[in-house]
Amino acid sequence: MTTLIHWFRNDLRLADNPALSHAARQAERVLPVYVHSPADDALTPWGFPRRGAHRRRFLRAALDALHARLVEEGSGLLEIHGRPSDCLPALAVQVGAAGISCEAIAAPEEEAELAALRGGDIPVESVWQSSLLDPAALPFAASRLPDVFTAFRQAVERAGQTPPPPLPVPRLPGWPAGITLPPKTTEPTAAFEVDARSSFPYTQPAFHGGEAAALAHLRAYFGSDRPHRYKATRNGLTGVGFSSKFSPWLASGALSARTAYAHLKAFEAERGASDGSYWLWFELLWRDYFRFLHLKYGRQLYRAAGLGKQPVPGHDPAAFARWCRGETGEPLVDAAMRELAATGFMSNRLRQLVASYLINDLGGDWRAGAAWFEAQLIDYDVYSNQGNWLYIAGRGTDPRGGRRFDPIKQAREHDPDGSFRKLWSQP
């Protein structure tokens, strides 16, 4: 009887999970596993833990939801602790597994993790599955990805390329004999309530981590006319409704981009296409673009110079700490940084502003800023975070060589009555 382990990484869902579906087809027994690696909680070179409290709590909820879904399907989620290359082979021996399936993640640390696992005796099958479009079906090889987003988008649109339809939830083979589901060890989150000012109040059931909340949110979003207004409202700063708020579920993999796209197309079929609905596709293409950029450039994106040649940026620990705490003296920047620390979320407009402020106004190191975002953001996504930071730093593929956002102008245009600054005038 063949047993396989499915190692959940950033794909915490059952629907449209090609790696899981593949394992379910191949084996008579599938053991779903999540690995808590010590690397996830290590200290960054900038002196703070890699994963802050908001991210940990959101992940906790997503794992609990995944376990609950798996139990409904007659299975469950085994959580183990250790380096994947140590603990997965040991588990495979224990349950007699013939192999491991997982999603492929094209970022250096995640690739190194997989390479170390592959160095052992157990076969590992990894499947690329986090993008909307299939990289193999792009109108160019990934190595020839256009270096300008607009050229990429136009080539995709000219070719009429659309994403493959999402896969259904697979029929999951049973849980292997000889291994008992351990009791859940949840963090004491019950007493915790995210700040009431949050634009993504993840302690409310509608914003919990996990697939069920993600799909309910998708249905509610596309059951409203908000997609028609998306282009006009997406630069908003406050509240739950100004943008789609798909990102925390997309980043943890509770939602696949293809499922989001299928709902978008169903919305357009029923209610008509508009600038707003088109712009959601446009933004999801940005997400893909940063993924495919990793397929083209890999490690180069992780150098201090990125794709450019500029010298290593400076790093002033005291100025950086003031930026993190929202104490720079620039009111809109400070308000945004307080929001991030208090809630784990920040609008796209303010992410651009605070990144630009650290890089251009404080002369700081973009990598420290990216690391702070990684620790704080509940929607932290290695590709989108690295890609956006490089872009603003002028070390990625911005044809204009980087962006400076003027805090005064941004405040005038996006917070004209000062309500956001007032809301976050205190931590």
Ligand X SMILES: Cc1cc2nc3c(=O)[nH]c(=O)nc-3n(C[C@H](O)[C@H](O)[C@H](O)COP(=O)(O)OP(=O)(O)OC[C@H]3O[C@@H](n4cnc5c(N)ncnc54)[C@H](O)[C@@H]3O)c2cc1C
CB of 16 to ligand X, least distance (A): 15
Distance CA 271, CA 225 (A): 9
CB of 423 to ligand X, least distance (A): 18
Cβ proximity to ligand X: between 34 and 366 the closer is: 366
Indicate which single residue of 122, 348, 406, 423 sits in contact with ligand X (rule: CB under 6 A). Answer: 348
Distance CA 346, CA 352 (A): 10
The HSE-up count of residue 184 (CA atoms within 13 Å, CB side) is: 14
Distance CA 307, CA 304 (A): 9
**In 3D, which of 311, 166, 313, 342 has the Cα closest to residue 253?**
166
Whether residue 199 is annotated as binding a ligand: the answer is no
Q: How far is CA 152 from the centre of its chain?
A: 21
Whether residue 275 is annotated as binding a ligand: the answer is no
What is the contact mask toward ligand X in residues 196 to 235, using x (rule: CB under 6 A)? --------------------------------------x-
H/E element, 294: helix 275-297
Cβ proximity to ligand X: between 33 and 293 the closer is: 293
Please, which of residues 389-408 interact with ligand X by CB under 6 A? 389, 392
Q: Does 420 bind ligand X (CB under 6 A)?
A: no
CB of 5 to ligand X, least distance (A): 28
| H helical segments located in 179-274 | 211-222, 226-233, 247-252, 257-271
Whether residue 345 is annotated as binding a ligand: the answer is no
Distance CA 256, CA 259 (A): 5
Indicate which single residue of 175, 246, 261, 292 sits in contact with ligand X (rule: CB under 6 A). Answer: 246
Angle between helix 275-297 and helix 149-158 axes, rounded to 10 deg? 110
CB of 61 to ligand X, least distance (A): 17
Distance CA 116, CA 268 (A): 45
Q: Does 284 bind ligand X (CB under 6 A)?
A: yes
Whether residue 289 is annotated as binding a ligand: the answer is yes
Residue ranges of the annotated binding site for FAD are 230, 243-247, 283-290, 379-381
Binding site for ligand X (CB under 6 A): 234, 243-247, 250-251, 280, 283-284, 286-287, 290, 347-348, 351-352, 355, 373, 377, 379-381, 384-385, 388-389, 392
